[in-house]
Amino acid sequence: MRAFRTDLEVLKKQKGSNDDFSFGKLFPILDEKNVSAGVMRGHYFHQDLLVARRVFHNHPEKHVDIGSRIDGFVAHIAAFREIEVFDIRTSDSKVKNIIFKQANLMEPQEDLIDYTDSISSLHAIEHFGLGRYGDPIDYYGYLKALDNIYRIVRSNGKFYFSVPIGPQRIEFNAHRVFNVSYLIDYFMDKYRIDHLSYVDDKGDLHENVSWDNASARSSFGCHEGCGIFELTKK
């Protein structure tokens, strides 16, 4: 607080008789003098940028998203193209390039079969069926959602997917954590794995790593990292 008052007195002396800005109420911010310019690490920071770059590179006809972060990945995509967002939650916002539709992806979506050539679900599927967001409790909710996404994306279409990775478990009611081996076994018959990247427990990105080895199948030693898949439907 002493430094705050010293800075204020210096500023008042510098102002002198100038009337361009008057002083309003004091608004002390006391803990930011020595902080960094920002944190460029963590699950959401890396996955949102990485997948947005890949969507831009692949330039699909239509891109649909299931439950990803609106003020992260969805906003990144909306900066350069239209995106349709499906989420069990409501949204009243109207923003250019974002088309929002409320839907429960644990239920069959018969009107969306072969609907798009590009779909994403980033850090969302791990929540399905745990009730955190008002969704019905369903132990198999994540599998139902993945099966519905498989029907929604066309043959040879792209699926961008991320979830927490590590020893497989449910941390109720926050999320599930998936073993990479479990995910690879699920995807193998349905998709070609084009890219696998992950964010480690320190929050650092490892991009386009090999997935066909023991390290991948042990979730790269993560306890709660983030696996990021780019897949093509067979």
Domains of the chain plus CATH, in order, are: 44-233 (3.40.50.150)
CA–CA separation, 147 vs 142, rounded Å? 9
For the residues 26-34, what does the mean pLDDT come to? Answer: 93
For the residues 165-194, what does the mean pLDDT come to? Answer: 98
As a whole number, the mean pLDDT across the chain is: 97
Q: 199 with 162: CB under 8 angstroms?
A: no
Q: What share of the chain is helix, strand, coil (3-state, %, to 5)?
A: 30, 25, 45
Q: According to the model, what pLDDT value does residue 115 have?
A: 98
Q: 57 with 35: CB under 8 angstroms?
A: no
Q: Which amino acid is at 73?
A: F
Q: According to the model, what pLDDT value does residue 14 have?
A: 97
Q: According to the model, what pLDDT value does residue 41 have?
A: 95
Q: According to the model, what pLDDT value does residue 1 have?
A: 86
Q: According to the model, what pLDDT value does residue 234 have?
A: 97
Q: E strand or H helix at 230, and its extent?
A: strand 225-233
Instruction: Please state whether the predicted TM-score (pTM) of the whole model is above 0.85.
Output: yes
